[in-house]
Structure 1
């Protein structure tokens, strides 16, 4: 029997303590999420994580995927939602958890994969990791006690995603996943290839300059993320980049 949040990958980046991974696994099984990925964990000890995962979380821990970097962890997904407690700078247009969950449910309903990304316990996602996220969400807390345990954050966001999926299923009236029109969304790996091509094109045109071109590329990232690119649109944009490079020699 399929889990409620099949197709959603919880991605924990550079997690410090295996016990937090165990509690996050418990949150996943509570909310019907069957995929947990770790990116370069500081300490990964499955046996230390087991007591915190409860019996139902043991299979999830046994199937944990460990990736060397975030780009590999999210490569097969069509939507990457990052979590952050900080605002400003590279962290623009933050979504409330309910808004992020609605976006997750819409993509899952198409039969495509989603990644929900959480940073290290002590500092969260850094700016480079944020660039791999299509959308950002933050959990509003009391300013006097703003710090959430990693597993608490996972549970809260998965709860919102589970509710959004149930609401989506009611609205869809039982339509099978992937039946909505418009074509397949590009994956995170494909969007990264496109952004590298756009970056190269804009550098050749001397549109991007300075010591930090990736920062000035952020508006383009946000534009393509909002557009929700389909495969034929991706092919057209990649073709445009190739043609511009060819014309510039």
Structure 2
């Protein structure tokens, strides 16, 4: 049901939580689990929490050194956060995220949902690779959720949405969606181009690129559109170099 969804755990602290997340993945039909730079990982401690039923998900989970490796091949990445404001704008609820994920899957994409460390969550640098952010509303008396609890809440909403609107291919295949790596290449090229025409200022251009990133996160950018925009950037940069200020 959620075969095109990948759960990514970024630097989890406790092996027991990884095991519990594997079980949550099994419950909601996700078999793609990736763990980035786990601390104190111990398979023997994780297995009992996964139970015998989700043992295969835990044992086949990939372990990577970086978040970029973990989301390789995905067409969209969504991060979870308990913090808002500043760089973190347009934050979705789990239900809203489920609709976005369902749309991306329906167009043939592969989606990664990233969960940060239990003790500090994802940093601004880590969320910069995300197409969007999501938070789980809680009461003020208890704003912290266990990692596996957070995973099962988010995946449940995605699973429920998938049940309501199962994907059925219709007509010829569309141009494939761009991967996260291609999107990052485009953002780098766009930033260089916008700096060249003085649309972005030299002071903290990464911050001023955030609205551009948020705009593109709303678009399920296809490979042919990626090629078009990369071509536009190349032509603008060529023009500026040839005819710009000496």
Distance 1:143 1:81, change over 3 A: same
Aligned-partner SS, 1:56: helix
1:221 corresponds to: 213
8 Å contact 2:104–2:220 — kept in the other structure? Answer: no
Number of residue pairs matched?
241
Q: Is the 8 A contact 1:37 1:65 kept in 2?
A: yes
* Distance in 1 separating the partners of 2:138 and 2:76: 25
Counterpart in the other structure of 2:157: 160
- CA distance in 1 between counterparts of 2:33 and 2:201 reads 39
Q: 1:234/1:88 Cα in 2 relative to 1: closer, same or farther (>3 Å)?
A: same
Hey, what does 1:131 align to over in structure 2? 128
TM-score, normalised by the number of residues in structure 2: 0.93
Which of 199, 206, 214 is matched with 1:207 structurally?
A: 199
Pair 1:180–1:89, CA change in 2 (3 A): farther
Partner of 2:30: 33
Query: In the aligned structure 2, how far is the partner of 1:182 from the partner of 1:225?
Result: 19
Where does structure 2 lack aligned partners over 5 or more consecutive residues?
A: 242-246
- Alignment partners' CA distance in 1, 2:28 and 2:179: 24
Q: Is the 8 A contact 1:110 1:179 kept in 2?
A: no
Structure 2 matches for 1:225-240, cutoff 5 A?
225-240=217-232
Counterpart of 2:46? 49
Q: 1:119 to 1:179 in 2, by over 3 A?
A: farther
Note the C-alpha offset of 1:203.
Answer: 2.4
Alpha-carbon offset, residue 204 of structure 1: 2.5
Partner of 1:140: 137
- The corresponding residue for 1:190 is 182
Structure 2 counterpart SS, 1:10: strand
Contact 2:115 2:122 in 1 (8 A): yes
Q: How does the TM-score come out when normalised to structure 1?
A: 0.91
**How far did 1:72 drift?**
1.9
